[in-house]
Chain A
Amino acid sequence: MHEYSIVASLIDRVQQEAAAHGGSRVHRLHVKIGELSGVEIDLLKTAFDTFRERTICDGAELAIDTVAPAWACPSCERAVERGAILRCDACGRPARMIQGDEIILQRIEMEAPNV
């Protein structure tokens, strides 16, 4: 259950941004979570609902963008299907993950009269 520690880091970061911008109430957080990031969306939501109380995120909505994993050959850029052998059909090189392991805070919507 590392989702709780991820939410703790998330709320810390939001607090820092709020302090830097003179922000007060947070309305919405936009995060991007890869399907192969190891973060379970439902657990993340539960952890956020629990931890946001009495923080700057109290009452804030967590908007989650999920990202499907994708693999490609690092040299010829051919896509390698999810579930296939992770090796380029054409040149035989090991494929590289190009997306799908993100755990990113994209944007905060907050009341910040000074911005």
Chain B
Amino acid sequence: MCETCGCGDPEIVPIEVQERILSDNDAQAAHNRSHFEALGLLAINLMGSPGAGKTAVLEASAKAAGGRLKLGAVSGDLATERDADRLNASGIVSATITTGSACHLDARLVHRALHDFPAGDRDIFFIENVGNLVCPAIYDLGQAANVVALSVTEGEDKPLKYPVMFQKADLVLLTKVDLIPHLDFDVAAVEDGLARVMPEARMLKVSAKTGEGIDAWLQWLEERRPAEGHRHEHSHGHHHEHH
């Protein structure tokens, strides 16, 4: 009988659940992670505001990496395929995940995109999330690391204003640093804000325009790539749900 509210109704029973509401997404993300690991791919969830320079950083990365790294990407976009077109033109094999009105990618959308994506020969797989500093942080996609692009034109206060996003970040890319001489932008203030919301605060200053910092960013990625010996043939023999 109901003991919680004391109404005494004998037919009301408490059912204990104690589970994450997004446990379905978590399970799908774990499945994606096993795909990425089997393929020996480093999967990066790249997040940031609209206009933070996510696509531009990837274009600059492709340019700097030359043929050294094989890059792939899927871009979450509400309505267009512009980002994927730009990335394909820069040499990154890319596809679009059209989200309609959804403000974030979830693990199921990424999984569906993976099925049509020639990821097998890629070294690094970028998941360029929908431009948004709130919602994408909540959904695990199966990535190895979360990277947040924050542009200098957005202001120093963003880490303290959007702590959930920055708390989940493994790396922050401070983008468009070539503009700093034209702005009243305090880099130390951003670093201080990050140290208060991001447990192992790590930030790299980059400019897609001048190429500054892009090598350090590629180095950061290289350090996280799975070791050669750990890669094995991708198999679809495991349990697989298609929606």
Does any Cβ of A come within 8 Å of B221's Cβ? no
Per the 8 Å Cβ criterion, residues 71-125 of B in contact with A are 102-104, 106
Per the 8 Å Cβ criterion, residues 1-35 of A in contact with B are 1-2, 5-6, 9-10, 12-13, 17, 21, 23, 27-28, 31
Could you give, for residues 64-83 of chain A, a 1 whenever the CB lies within 8 Å of some chain B CB and a 0 otherwise?
A: 00000001000000000001
Contact A27/B12 with A1-B103, A86-B199, A94-B200 known, Cβ cut-off 8 Å: yes
Contact A85/B18 with A111-B11, A112-B11, A112-B13 known, Cβ cut-off 8 Å: no
The number of residue pairs between A and B whose CB atoms lie closer than 8 Å in the complex comes to 115
B25 to chain A, nearest CB (A): 7
Q: In the complex, are the beta carbons of A17 and B163 less than 8 A apart?
A: no
Q: In the complex, are the beta carbons of A28 and B19 less than 8 A apart?
A: no
Could you give, for residues 93-115 of chain A, a 1 whenever the CB lies within 8 Å of some chain B CB and a 0 otherwise?
A: 01111000111111111111101
Contact A17/B17 with A1-B103, A37-B138, A38-B137 known, Cβ cut-off 8 Å: yes
Q: How far is the CA of A110 from the CA of B192 in the complex (A)?
A: 48
State the interface size on chain B (CB cutoff 8 A).
40
B87 to chain A, nearest CB (A): 25
Q: In the assembled complex, which residues on chain B have CB atoms less than 8 Å from the CB atom of A5?
A: 102, 106
Q: How far is the CA of A1 from the CA of B135 in the complex (A)?
A: 7
What does DSSP make chain B's interface, helix, strand, loop or mixed? mixed
Q: In the complex, are the beta carbons of B15 and A21 less than 8 A apart?
A: yes
Q: In the complex, are the beta carbons of B15 and A104 less than 8 A apart?
A: no
Q: In the assembled complex, which residues on chain B have CB atoms less than 8 Å from the CB atom of A113?
A: 11
Does any Cβ of A come within 8 Å of B197's Cβ? yes
Does any Cβ of A come within 8 Å of B241's Cβ? no
Q: In the complex, are the beta carbons of B164 and A115 less than 8 A apart?
A: no
Q: In the complex, are the beta carbons of B25 and A9 less than 8 A apart?
A: yes
Contact A106/B13 with A2-B138, A87-B195 known, Cβ cut-off 8 Å: no
Does any Cβ of A come within 8 Å of B21's Cβ? yes
CB within 8 Å of A: which residues of B? 2, 4-5, 9, 11-25, 102-104, 106, 134-135, 137-139, 163-165, 167, 192, 195-201
Q: A86-B197, A110-B13 are in contact. List 7 more A-B contacts (CB 8 A).
A: A9-B24, A39-B138, A95-B199, A104-B21, A111-B11, A111-B12, A115-B15
CB within 8 Å of B: which residues of A? 1-2, 5-6, 9-10, 12-13, 17, 21, 23, 27-28, 31, 36-39, 71, 83-87, 94-97, 101-113, 115
